[in-house]
Chain A
Amino acid sequence: MDRIPILKMGPFLLVTIQVDLYDRLALTLENDLIGMVSKTGARGVLIDISAVSIVDSFMGRILGNIASMSRIMDAETVVVGMQPAVAITLVELGLTLQGVYTALDVEKGMELLQDKIGILEDSEKDEEEDPDDRND
């Protein structure tokens, strides 16, 4: 069966969708991603859809599902590279991609994820400031 490859890059997972997804493939990706978040403890998921020419309400729902599931597993999701025609169409269709962060391209998406995780880690560090932990 076909699968979309998921790459691990530090604390993040990277997915580049290069084909127009048919439903089974999209559902498999949803499953694989959540499994990988759990297995690797990833803190962020970056999904590049620059090669995707159609996002209908089904595909939109999959992206939303991935974001909500990842969030429950303590990872943020950023969708990058949406084509202008796809963005125009999504708005007219009435799809808002709730809970999904977006960025223009992979580079900006990575920065966004790093910012998000950075902020989280700083606040965690503040809480855990304890002299006994210094040697960790």
Chain B
Amino acid sequence: MTKDTMQIVREQDVVPFRNRVRELSTKIGMSLVNQTKLITAASELVRNMLKYANGGKVMLETISKNAQSGIRLVFIDKGPGIADVQQAMRDGFSTGKSLGLGLPGAKRLVNEFDIKSTPGEGTTVTIIHWKHGR
């Protein structure tokens, strides 16, 4: 099992981070389509972290369940938090000037998605994507 943490503090950290996710998913033999979905979701989430929380850190690990391997990514920031998570998960909702696809879009792209946020303390988003996508 590989376990790793990456700090995301600048926009320039996005590309190396995506490359690290690609490396991990290639290593467990994930298909190209599943890799692309996972990396795109991860990219949306780090962008959110940079935009709303001035960055944070991501924990990356390979996991396995019922003989299937997968990747778990945990995005942790100490930003302002999200007052209404349900609203933030709705398509087209954005407090910034984005398209509002980040959170709901990322959720659609991965197998498991969990978000916890406390206003004033920060937000933690956990995503899991399995090698075969289910």
Interface residues of A in 50-84 (CB under 8 A from B): 53-58, 60-61, 83-84
Residues of chain A within 8 A (CB-CB) of B43 are 54, 56, 58
The residue that B44 contacts in the complex, of A23, A56, A86, with Cβ under 8 A, is: A56
Beta-carbon contact of A56 and B15 below 8 Å: no
Main secondary structure of the interface of B (DSSP, over half): helix
In the complex, whether B64 has a CB less than 8 A from a CB of chain A is: no
The answer to whether B33 touches A57, judged by C-beta atoms less than 8 angstroms apart, is no
B118 at interface (Cβ–Cβ under 8 A)? no
User: Count the A residues whose beta carbon is within 8 Å of the partner chain — how many?
Assistant: 22
Which of A9-17, A30-38, A89-97 sits within the interface? A89-97
Contact A92 B109 (CB under 8 A): yes
B residues less than 8 Å from A115 (CB atoms): none
Question: What are the interface flags for B45-84 relative to A under an 8 Å C-beta threshold, 1 for contact and 0 otherwise?
Answer: 0010000000000000000000000000000000000000
B36 near A57 with CB under 8 A, answer no
Whether A93 lies near B36 (C-beta < 8 A) is no
Contact across chains for B18 and A57 when beta carbons are under 8 A apart: no
Residue contact A56 to B40, C-beta cutoff 8 Å? yes
Contacts A20-B18, A22-B11; is A92 near B37 (CB within 8 Å)? yes
A64 nearest CB neighbor, chain B only: B99
A61 to B101, CA, bound (A): 11
Q: A57-B44, A57-B105 are in contact. Are A23 and B14 (CB under 8 A)?
A: yes
Contact of A93 among B11, B33, B105 (CB under 8 A): B105
Query: Which chain B residues border A24 with CB–CB below 8 Å?
Result: 11-12
Instruction: Give B98-128 as 1s and 0s: 1 = Cβ < 8 Å from A's Cβ atoms.
Output: 1101101110110000000000000000000
**Are B40 and A94 neighbours in the complex by a CB distance under 8 Å?**
no
Complex Cα gap A86–B98 (Å): 20
Bitwise interface map of A from 85 to 128 toward B, beta carbon under 8 Å scored 1, else 0: 11011001111000000000000000000000000000000000
- Verify A88–B36 contact, CB threshold 8 A: yes
A55 with B40: CB separation less than 8 A: yes
Point out the residues of chain B lying under 8 angstroms from A23, CB to CB: 11, 14
Contacts of A57 in B (CB 8 A): 44, 47, 98-99, 101-102, 105
Q: A88-B37, A93-B44 are in contact. List 19 more A-B contacts (CB 8 A).
A: A20-B18, A23-B14, A54-B36, A56-B43, A57-B44, A57-B98, A57-B105, A58-B47, A85-B32, A89-B36, A89-B40, A92-B105, A93-B40, A93-B101, A93-B105, A93-B106, A94-B91, A94-B101, A95-B105
